[in-house]
Amino acid sequence: MNVRIDFLVGAALSFTFAAMKVQKKLALGYFKTKLNLLSLVNKQKAGEEAFKLFCTPFLRYQGPEAPVFKDAEKLTFQLDGKKIIGYRCNHPQQKKVLLLHGFSSTCHRFDKYAEALIKKGYEVLAFDAPAHGGSDGKTVNAVEYSDMIKQIVQLYGPVDAFIAHSFGGIAVSLALESLPHSSNTKVVLIAPATETESAINGAFALLGINNKVLRQGLDEAIYKREGRNTSWYSIRRAMKNITASVLWLHDEEDDITPWEDAKKVQQEALPNIEFVFTKGLGHQRIYRDADVRKRILEFL
């Protein structure tokens, strides 16, 4: 009987995963066709649609509240009309750290860091970015995320250390260009989204799009928002304006945020950045790895 049940459960799971793959393939095909056709009619509209698509998280975390946050102080504030929710743990303490998740993620996935940092004597701040977890919104871009960081520092700071993964990395880098900080400020970048141009290239490759008109429309849509070219949204560029002590961790086999972009920053030999390169952890496992977490805690 148990064998039959196991077989049925296994078959059901296999069917579910297969269905999810088919749905993903159909969705990608739909967006590819839509954007390509729209670019033939209206380049500006196509660029705006592409920008909206790339700013829309694939998934919104709806899982359980991490145990470390259940007894924490719940925090909320307004950011451009959107309610942002988060937590403050171990308040008050002499030093504060802000945890920053990546795209389509949540602060709850950084519970192990929160637990370890509390033991280390830190006050821990953790928030869901706009359009993520319990926070309002359907889309988010790097400027909005960086504005959230600046508002958190204004409301609950000063912040002595930042730990950011992926999309959170470029957001905190942009924020630090205008936030007061010094060499005593600690910044941990885990597989950061180093170059926005690389992120767009990756998204186009995922969709199977090779459309110069659409790409030009997207670049124009980005410029229209802040008056800055796509290449400006770059950690490599921002680091020249940041004096904080930085620990940069990146995996050589990262298929989301290219390791090659991190290597270009390393070659500039900025004295405030220490690089740690891993192999075999990819983009997600790197921030969950116990050895990586230990190295980060030692740095702090």
Least confident of 20-24, 30-34, 80-84, 113-117: 20-24
Residue 19's pLDDT is 40
Condensed to tens digits (0 to 9), the pLDDT of residues 272-282 reads 999 999 999 99
Specify the pLDDT at position 24: 52
Question: Residue 188's CB: how many other CB atoms inside 10 A?
Answer: 28
Higher-confidence residue: 17 or 92? Answer: 92
> Residue 25: which pLDDT band, with cuts at 50, 70 and 90?
low
Q: What is the DSSP letter of 209?
A: -
pLDDT value, residue 29: 72
Both tokens assigned to 70: 């259940």
CB 194 within 8 A of CB 170: yes
Report the number of secondary-structure helices (H) and strands (E) in the chain: 12, 8
Q: What is the mean pLDDT of the chain?
A: 91
Give pLDDT, residue 207: 85
Q: What is the DSSP letter of 239?
A: G
Residue 254 in this model has a pLDDT that exceeds 70: yes
Place 189 in a pLDDT band, splitting at 50, 70 and 90: very high
* CA-only gyration radius of the chain, Å: 20
Q: Does residue 114 surpass a pLDDT of 50?
A: yes
Residues 67-110: pLDDT tens digits?
A: 999 999 999 999 999 999 999 999 999 999 999 999 999 999 99
CA atoms within 13 A on the CB side of 3: 0
